[in-house]
Amino acid sequence: MFLYRLFTWLYPKIAWLISFSNPKAGLWLKGRRGLFKKLSSAFHKNDRPVVWMHSASLGEFEQGLPVLESIRRHYPGYTILVTFFSPSGYEVRKNHKIADHIFYLPMDTPAHANRFFNIVQPSLVIFVKYEFWYYYLQEANQRNIPSLLVSGIFRNDQPFFQWYGSVHKRMLTFFEKLFVQNTSSAELLSTIGFANNLIVSGDTRFDRVLEIAGRFEPINLIDHFCNNQTTIVAGSTWTEDDEALDHFANTHPSVKCIVAPHDIEEERLQECLTLYKHSILYSDYEKAYLAGKPVPEETNVLIINNMGMLSSLYHYATICYIGGGFGDDGIHNILEAAVYGKPVVFGPVYDKYFEAEELLDFGGAYSIEDSLELEEIFTQLLENTEMRQKAAKASADYVSCKAGATKKVMDYIEAKRLLTN
C-alpha cells in the first residue's frame, strides 16, 4: 500500500515537472485546477440518481459508450457522469452528448475519494477495461454502492497475479461483478479466487463499432479524393508505421492513401508530409475543394490532421493498415476497420490484443515485420481478388459473431435492479 500511496503522491509532481515541455501533462494539470469546485457547481442542484462511468482515455470511453447509451435509453431518469484520467480522452470527448457532466478524475487519495462521493453520490459505478483506483473503489464499497467492471481484460503479467499484487487483488474485491472479455481472463481470475464473481461477456467494442458502421454517412471530400480508385487507409500511425508505408505509397501513384497519424502535432504532420512525397494535409485539400481549385495531379496521399474522422474513413478502404504495431504498446483499434469488411494489416506487436490474434486466425488480418512484408501483402491483396474478398468477409463475420456484450451487462443490471425506473 505504501508504494501505491507514493505513486499517487508523486504522479502530479512529475506531471508538473514535465508540463513545461509536454503539452499533455500541461492539460492534465490544467484540467484538475478547481476540479472539486466545478463538481460541486455541477451537482449541487442535482435531484436525480447518478450513474458514474470512469475510463482512462478515449479508447476505453468508446468501449463503455454502448453501456451508457443503453442506460440512457432504458433509464432516462438518471444523471450520467463521465470521468477521464487522460487528456487524450477528456479533450476529445468533453462535450459528448451522452453525459450530463464530463470531468477529469481527481487524483486517487482517501480525502479526494470521500469528497468526490459526497458531491456526486452515485447510485452505480462503472469502470472500463483496466483502469483501477483503490480509494474510489473502496469508497464505493464502503457506501454499499454497486461497482461493475465492463470489458475487463486480464493478462498473467499484471500485478493481480504477482506476489506483490495484494493491493490490486484487493481492488477486485470491491466490484460487485467483473464482466471480462474472454475465457483466458476468466481463467486467470479463477486462479486468485474470483471464479464466482465474473461473467464472460465479451467486448462491448464490437457493439460500438457495429453501431458506428450502421450509421455511416458519406464524406463528400473523401469521396472526391478517392475517386473510386484503390485506396489504402492507414489509421493511428506512428513514425515507424509511416516509414514502413511510405515506399509503397511513393512507388504506387495510382493507389490512393489516406493516413491518419495518431499524433497530429505540427512536427508529426510535417514528418508525414516529408515521408509521403505526393501528400497533402486534409485541411489544405478541403480549402482547395471548397474553392474549386485543383491540387497537384500527382497527389495520392491525404494526411488527416483532425480528430474524430477515422472510424468513418475505413469505409473507403480497399485495405486497412492499423498503426502502433512497431511500438512497445502495440496496435490500435482494429475493429473499427474490420467492421466494414476490410482486410486488416498491422505490425508485429499485437500480443496484448486477443482480437488481433483471433482475426488473424479467422483469416481477416495479416501481420507484417517490415516494409518489405508490407509491400508483399499489399501487392497480393490488390492483385488477388479472391484472396482480398475472402479476408474481407472473414473480418465482417468475425465482428458480427462477437456482438452482444452490452446486452449481458444490461441484463445483469436489470436482473439485480441496480437501476430503477
Whether residue 297 is predicted with pLDDT greater than 80 in this model: the reply is yes
pLDDT digits (tens, 9 = 90+) for 316-363: 999 999 999 999 889 999 999 999 999 999 999 998 888 999 999 999
Whether residues 150 and 220 fall in one domain: no
Domain assignment present for 228: yes
The model's pLDDT over 188-222, given as tens digits with 9 standing for 90+, comes to 999 999 999 999 999 999 999 999 999 999 999 99
Q: For residues 89-111, give the mean pLDDT.
A: 94
Question: In this structure, are 194 and 303 located in the same domain?
Answer: no
**pLDDT at residue 20, as a whole number:** 83
In a domain, 172, yes or no: yes
Do 153 and 52 share a structural domain? yes
More confident residue, 139 or 16: 139
CATH number at residue 77: 3.40.50.11720
- Asked whether residue 208 is assigned to any structural domain, the reply reads no
Poorest-confidence range of 61-75, 82-96, 239-253? Answer: 82-96
Report whether 306 contacts 321 (CB < 8 A): no
| 71/220 same-domain check | no
CATH number of the domain enclosing 381? 3.40.50.2000
Question: What does the pLDDT read at residue 13?
Answer: 85
pLDDT band at 59 (very low <50, low <70, confident <90, very high): confident
Give the whole-angstrom CA distance, residue 223 versus residue 217: 11
Give the pTM.
0.84
What residues make up the domain containing 393? 213-401
Number of structural domains the chain divides into: 2
Give me the mean pLDDT over the 257-266 stretch: 95
Structural domain contains residue 207: no
pLDDT, position 252: 97
Write down the pLDDT at residue 172: 97
Residue 224 within a domain: yes
- Grid cell 474524430 in the structure block, residue: 308
pLDDT tens-digit series, residues 136-163? 999 999 999 999 999 999 999 999 999 9
| Res. 28: pLDDT tops 90 | no
Shared-domain flag, residues 168 and 240: no
pLDDT attached to residue 67:
97
Computed over every residue of the chain, the mean pLDDT equals 95
pLDDT above 70 coverage of the chain, percent: 100
Exposure on the CB side of residue 262, measured as CA atoms within 13 A: 21
Q: Are residues 39 and 77 in the same domain?
A: yes
For residues 244 and 356, membership in a common domain is answered with yes
DSSP string, 225-281: HHTTS-EEEEEEE-HHHHHHHHHHHHH-TTSEEEEEES---HHHHHHHHHHSTTEEE
Are the CB atoms for 200 and 186 separated by under 8 Å? yes
Regarding whether 235 and 380 lie in a shared domain, the answer is yes
Average pLDDT of the segment spanning 78-83: 98
In-domain check, residue 305: yes
Q: How confident is the model at residue 29 (pLDDT cuts 50, 70, 90)?
A: confident
The band of 8, judged by pLDDT with boundaries at 50, 70 and 90, is: confident
pLDDT (0 to 100) of residue 18? 86
pLDDT of 16 above 90: no
Across the range 239-250, mean pLDDT stands at 97
Residue 14 in any domain: the answer is yes
Contact indicator for 108, 134 with CB cutoff of 8 Å: yes
Average pLDDT over residues 386-414: 97
CA dihedral 269, 273, 279, 281 (to 10 degrees): 30
pLDDT-derived band at 1 (thresholds 50, 70, 90) equals confident
Please answer whether residues 377 and 355 qualify as being in contact, where contact means their C-beta atoms are separated by less than 8 angstroms: no
Mean pLDDT throughout 3-28?
A: 85
Clarify whether residues 143 and 241 are in a common domain: no
**Which CA distances in Å does 61 have to 99, 273, 315, 374?**
11, 31, 22, 31
Q: Which three cell numbers stand for residue 107?
A: 487524483
Is a pLDDT exceeding 80 seen at residue 2?
no
Same domain, 118 and 257: no
Rg of the Cα atoms in the chain: 23
> CA 113, CA 139: separation in Å to the nearest integer?
6
The pLDDT-based confidence of 421 (bands split at 50, 70, 90) is confident
Residue 7's pLDDT is: 81
Among candidates 263, 261, 333, which has minimal Cα distance to 302?
261
Taking residues 55-66, what's their average pLDDT? 92
N-to-C CA span, the chain: 40
Same domain, 366 and 411: no
Say whether both 241 and 184 belong to one domain. no
**Contact (Cβ atoms closer than 8 angstroms) between residue 72 and residue 80:** yes
CA torsion angle 115 118 124 126 (round to 10): -10
Quick check: is 420 in a domain? no
> What are the E-state strand segments in 45-184?
50-55, 79-84, 101-104, 122-128, 147-152, 177-180
